[in-house]
Structure 1
Amino acid sequence: MFLITGLLFVFGIGWLVSSDRKNIKYKRMGVLFALQIIISFLCLHTSGGIKTLASISKFFNWLMAQAAGGVDFVFGGLMIKPGGSVFFLGVLMPIVFISALVGILNYIKVLPFIIKWTGWALNKVAHMGELESYFAISTAILGQPEVFLTIKEQIPKLNERRLYTICASAMSAVSAAMLASYMKMVPGKYVVVAVFLNILSALIISCIINPYDTDANDELVQISKGNDEPFFQVLGTYITDGFKLAITVGAMLIGFVALVTFLNNSFLAIIHISFTTLIGYVFAPIAFLMGVPSHDIVKVGSLMATKLITNEFVAMGTLHGVADTLSVKANAIISAYLVSFANFGTVGIITGSIKSISEKQGSYVAKFSMKLLLGATMASILTGTIVGLYF
């Protein structure tokens, strides 16, 4: 039942804001949704899928342990209370190591091979367009803003509708460098499933909000033009980019968490209810339609709103502290929902990234930025709804 209500909600909102209601791509939506059901069933409802997810989670935990070697060497002298941990060191600093691995795999052309042919297969099945299919896969591996550089030659030539689709994919997918950090805060199986589902969810929402036909002569872009730079120069670039990302996320967390704390205390002093609880009531009906048990909808709604206003790290940190008070189904739904970049801050990052490549296209993105955020949020709702089907 809740799968139906969640789908109806997503489609209803998408239909209301659609740029071309008469040409919504129902067939493409059906194919992509069928892929989501198959993937989620195999991952969450079969012994082989459950074991595979457990192995992937175990692998990422192992990577985090390896990253600790470099972190301990640099920061090992810091005094930490017994049994305690430092979020920056334990969750954010490993991003540097994961980013280095991504750089190596990209340099030896493993990632380009995976992205190219997975994107090709996705396009053959769903007919979303080669550029869109390629970008949907590549953004889930490379992340943004770096992924926009792989299509910098195509961006100035894109019409407004194709530009919307690639930006929606960038907001819905998360980079490989972030996965291990996410798994420190929410169960790894939900992170992995959400990564797969979000790729398709973003394309489904685009079929409703932003339907169009692609050019039959569209060419698949290449993620790498060759190893022109020396290996250690490329590796150093990825390492420094990973460090910058960790610092940026850390700075945003300090600011956003402090802001939420300030608002909570201010609202408590004035109306005797915290800000996060108040916004939880606003999002509670949506949580209910997604299948969250009624006794958990306010808490889950609060986490949904926190992610939208701040970012997924702030919401995951809050979830980590209240997960024991939520049902298994509520945990599954909200965990999957949080695995994306759908928030106000990311809109600014994407707009700036596109603008740095093309001033004109950056202006287009700024014009539909709120519609972009709405679409990415609905993609997260769709992903969470599908995951909740199995609990």
Structure 2
Amino acid sequence: MNFVFLLTGLALVFGIGWLVSSDRKKIRYKSIGKLFVLQLIISFICLHTSGGINALKGISAFFSWLMLQAAGGVDFVFGGFAIKPGGSVFFLNVLMPIVFISALVGILNYIKVLPFIIKWTGWALNKVSGMGELESYFAVSTAILGQPEVFLTVKDQIPKLNEQRLYTICASAMSAVSAAMLASYMKMVPGKFVVVAVFLNILSALIISGIVNPYETEKDDELVKISKGNDEPFFQVLGTYIVDGFHLAITVGAMLIGFVALVTFLNNTFIAIIGISFTDLIGYVFAPIAFLMGVPTHDIVKVGSLMATKLITNEFVAMGTLHSVAGTLSTKATAIISAYLVSFANFGTIGIVSGSIKSISAEQGRYVAKFSLKLLLGATMASILTGTIVGMYF
């Protein structure tokens, strides 16, 4: 039965992708096939072997440990009331640790650990898939650095990219999540699904881009390099990352206040007018998609509601809702929706992506604005593909 739903999920993704494809004759089925097989191998090792399961447990435990270390700084500044067993101050316990994680990312970037990982992982991915040197590099780097910072690493290349290549890197940016966010995500959804989704989303974005926006790859003159490095004093770089992390936490907090309040308003308004909440209503709209992904029938409306919530608001709002209702969902439904939520595919991210590109090149920013809805569709299909593959093992 799991294999059947893998086929239905794939049929959904590839069918929609083929219908909206800009050039069906250029779809490179061989490269897409290689990436899909790689996804199956990664997911099998991570979710179906003792070594992979133990590795995921170790990674999750490590991020939990990092959250405890971050609690030291938060506790010192905010007086100790936030860091308590069973504490529920979301901003302090979930968002503020982003500052610490961002500092660690800055240190690893400064001492050239991250550039080394990104360079050679991207090189290996390009050798396997043939999707392009720049595209493979960017797909890996965006999963570590996040946006909008990741666009600065290819700021010299962005003005030179054609519309097709620009679509691919923007789709990667929307389908991935930054390393600084992982620990916060793990406070709301099972850590193993967060880690697996990070790996799979890198490949899902390239697969969907290869269908929706196919083109012949070009040989780059040189592999792009991360712009931040040892040319700046260490403490200046560290301070920049810390402030950036704080700004990110504040921004996410502000968006959550606005979006959660908006959803609450819509729910109460819809209940008063038609007797059903807004989230339940959109849950019915997305329920068929959840079913094709393999979600058990009795969970499809709840999962569909979470899928729509993420699309309309952001992943944090949806994860917060999932955290509160996880006990009512089956294991399979929890696995699928958890993996699905680990990406930046939502309406708000379109503004961030287009704004980031426009700040580097006004002309390229206009291109992004032109295909923004198609970009959101592609990033959402990438999340559907990732969720479908994870669900196959439950």
- Confirm or deny that 1:73 pairs with 2:76: yes
1: CA distance, partners of 2:220 / 2:53: 40
1:78-117 alignment runs, 5 A limit: 78=81, 83-117=86-120
- Confirm or deny that 1:177 pairs with 2:187: no
Q: Secondary structure at the match of 1:249?
A: helix
- Confirm or deny that 1:2 pairs with 2:39: no
Deviations 1:324-377 (A, max 9, x none): 000000000000000000000000000000000000000000000000000000
Change (3 A) 1:8 1:228: same
1:367 corresponds to: 370
Deviations 1:138-186 (A, max 9, x none): 0000000000000000000000000000000000000000000000000
- Confirm or deny that 1:44 pairs with 2:47: yes
1:293 corresponds to: 296
1:258 corresponds to: 261
Please, which runs of 5 or more residues in structure 2 have no aligned partner? none
1:245 corresponds to: 248
2: CA distance, partners of 1:390 / 1:138: 28
TM-score, length-normalised on structure 1? 0.98
Please, which runs of 5 or more residues in structure 1 have no aligned partner? none
Deviations 1:293-314 (A, max 9, x none): 0000000000000000000000
1: CA distance, partners of 2:314 / 2:299: 21
Change (3 A) 1:161 1:82: closer
2: CA distance, partners of 1:108 / 1:80: 31
1:63 corresponds to: 66
Change (3 A) 1:49 1:81: closer
Are the aligned partners of 1:122 and 1:133 in contact in 2 as well (CA < 8 Å)? yes
1:214, distance to aligned residue in structure 2 (A)? 1.2
Deviations 1:187-231 (A, max 9, x none): 000000000000000000011000011113443101146411110
1: CA distance, partners of 2:213 / 2:82: 53
Root mean square deviation of aligned Cα: 1.1
TM-score, length-normalised on structure 2? 0.98
Q: 1:327 aligns with which of 330, 334, 342?
A: 330
1:19 corresponds to: 22
1:280, distance to aligned residue in structure 2 (A)? 0.1
1:57, distance to aligned residue in structure 2 (A)? 0.1
Q: What amino acid is aligned across from residue 274 of structure 1 in structure 2? A: S
1:227 corresponds to: 230
1:35 corresponds to: 38
Deviations 1:63-95 (A, max 9, x none): 000000000000025579984320000000000
Are the aligned partners of 1:43 and 1:49 in contact in 2 as well (CA < 8 Å)? yes
Deviations 1:23-68 (A, max 9, x none): 1110011000000000000000000000000000000000000000
- Confirm or deny that 1:203 pairs with 2:206: yes
Deviations 1:242-279 (A, max 9, x none): 00000000000000000000000000000000000000
1:192 corresponds to: 195
1:306-385 alignment runs, 5 A limit: 306-385=309-388
Are the aligned partners of 1:10 and 1:378 in contact in 2 as well (CA < 8 Å)? yes
